[in-house]
Amino acid sequence: MIVMMFAKFVLSMAGMVFVGQEVANLSTRLRLRLIDGIMKARWGFFTSQPTGRFTAAVSTDSDRAATAFKQAGLIFAKFVEILVYFVGALFISWQFSVAAVVLCVLLWIAVSRYMRMAKRAGRGKTKYNQRLAGAVTEVLTNIKALKAMNRHGHIAAVFDTDIDKLSRALRRENDSNAAVVALQDPLLAGFLVTGIYFGYNYFGMPFEALVATIWLLRRIAAKIGEIRAGMQGMFIDSSAFWSTVALIEETEIEAEQMQKGSSMILQNEARFADVSFAYPSRDVMKDINIAIEAGKVTTIIGPSGSGKTTIADLLVGLHQPRSGQVLIDGMSLKDGDLRQWRNRIGYIPQDNILFNDTVAQNVTLGDATIDNSRIEAALKLAGAWQFVSRLPAGLDEMVGVRGNLLSGGQRQRLSIARALINDPNLLILDEATSALDHDTALEICDSVRSLAGQRTILAITHQSLWIDAADRIYEMENGSVTLAEKHSS
């Protein structure tokens, strides 16, 4: 027995060390692959996904996945231990071996119901955690409107349902744990008493054999208990593992095709040639033709929902035309090097959101090679230097969650600086000055206009100042585009 115990010690230690290392590796690998997948997925994939899926997967689910994996490893280690006991048992008596197998089966059957319960609890935990993570993110983004109109009560009611379901899953998890632990002792006691009775009276087992048998049976029962606890943990957390793996696979399938093609510089023009595009639920444009001349200011106007932002997204390659082509100097965007094309673009999206970081970080987006003089120059061009230089910490001032310590117009100017910092060939402004007073907007419009010549500017707007500044104006309406007369508005 001493030899057996020693063998067990060596085997289980080796198992534990291996499992520990692999668990740490696994959660790291899952997170890295997931983040890589998320970053590389195509834009259309994001717009169709609930945000909570990503947040929950990167935070809680990756850890739970690793825990499930650890449990699986521990189960294996315990299983090896049980095997060692069984081999030992064979040396004592065949009766014992039969008894041990019966014990295993009985204990297993007695708790199988609670194992199923654990599995269900795990699935609920994964599902409602994801839903809550998503809902909280979305509500926090809109909290101002909710509070201002006292409407947060209705949304909170929606949370309550999910929280209630999550709590039900947690209760189920606890119940199944408690039931399994509670069942262990009475089952074992009953079994031992019956075993001793039959062993002594009918099989004539000698006293020493009985003592050894009871000792071994207790050990085996304890190990089975541990295995079951491990399996329970594994069942509870395995749904997080599968859900994370599924998300990784999905993001990898939805990866953007970033082929190495010829480089696109935009020396002459960007052209939409008979481009049609539709979202799954809606046709947006049909056979449109646009020429965006290099070095000039092109302005696109048109009613809300007519597809102006969609044009910008097609030009950047975030969407692909259903038919027709987007051509840069005569070469189709799908044949060119998209990564390199985007490196040349400064894009100010319609709803810009700042990170909860410093002014400088928001402008450089973490690119440490950009020095302060370049940041300052971009801020000046964007008309932001005046207010930034007055902030107590200047470039190092924190802008708050989504930039809420700044005014709407200040946030817009930081977004413009962010787009200008890389000295882009093509600058796309989607309603970029809509939150600014006329004079500030005009100032920015003038400084952006002064960039034309070297750079190509595409402005999407309702503001007349961009129409005045334009070399060419297109008007979008009902899925088609017409060249508008200059100064027509």
Chain residues that interact with Mg ion, rule: CB under 5 A: 309, 350
Which stretch, 77-85, 306-314, 396-404, 420-428, contacts ligand ATP (CB under 6 A)?
A: 306-314
414 binds, among ligand ATP, Mg ion, none (CB under 5 to 8 A by kind): none
Residue 350 interacting with ligand ATP (CB under 6 A): yes
Which stretch, 59-67, 119-127, 299-307, 389-397, contacts ligand ATP (CB under 6 A)?
A: 299-307
For residue 460 the two structure tokens come to: 């999407």
Nearer to ligand ATP, 301 or 384 (CB): 301
Cβ within 8 Å of residue 476, ≥6 positions away: 285, 288, 300, 301, 302, 303, 306, 307, 308, 311
Residue 309 interacting with ligand ATP (CB under 6 A): yes
Q: Are strands 426-430 and 456-460 parallel, antiparallel or unpaired?
A: parallel
Nearer to ligand ATP, 45 or 200 (CB): 45
Closest Cα partner for 121 from 232, 251, 277, 259? 232
Residue 477 interacting with ligand ATP (CB under 6 A): no
**193-222 positions binding ligand ATP, by CB under 6 A:** none
Closest Cα partner for 433 from 422, 452, 447? 447
**Chain length of the chain:** 489
State in angstroms the smallest separation of the CB of 308 from Mg ion. Answer: 5
Nearer to Mg ion, 349 or 394 (CB): 349
Nearer to Mg ion, 309 or 415 (CB): 309
**Closest chain position to Mg ion (CB):** 309
Nearer to ligand ATP, 235 or 466 (CB): 466
State in angstroms the smallest separation of the CB of 463 from ligand ATP. Answer: 12
In the stretch 356-395, what mask flags binding to ligand ATP with x, by CB under 6 A? ----------------------------------------
284 binds, among Mg ion, ligand ATP, none (CB under 5 to 8 A by kind): ligand ATP
CA-based torsion, 194, 197, 198, 200: positive or negative? positive
In contact, 427 and 445? CB cutoff 8 Å:
no
Nearer to Mg ion, 213 or 309 (CB): 309
In the stretch 36-75, what mask flags binding to ligand ATP with x, by CB under 6 A? -----------x----------------------------
In contact, 355 and 277? CB cutoff 8 Å:
no
For residue 151 the two structure tokens come to: 């409407």
305 binds, among ligand ATP, Mg ion, none (CB under 5 to 8 A by kind): ligand ATP
478 binds, among ligand ATP, Mg ion, none (CB under 5 to 8 A by kind): none
Nearer to ligand ATP, 241 or 277 (CB): 277
For residue 133 the two structure tokens come to: 């993570």
State in angstroms the smallest separation of the CB of 306 from Mg ion. Answer: 9
Nearer to Mg ion, 358 or 480 (CB): 480
State in angstroms the smallest separation of the CB of 312 from Mg ion. Answer: 8
461 binds, among ligand ATP, Mg ion, none (CB under 5 to 8 A by kind): none
CB hemisphere CA count around 241 (13 angstroms): 18
Nearer to ligand ATP, 38 or 360 (CB): 38
In the stretch 251-290, what mask flags binding to ligand ATP with x, by CB under 6 A? ----------------------------x-xx-x------
Among 37, 122, 124, 307, binds ligand ATP (CB under 6 A): 307
Q: Which residues bind ligand ATP (CB under 6 A)?
A: 47, 279, 281-282, 284, 302, 304-310, 350
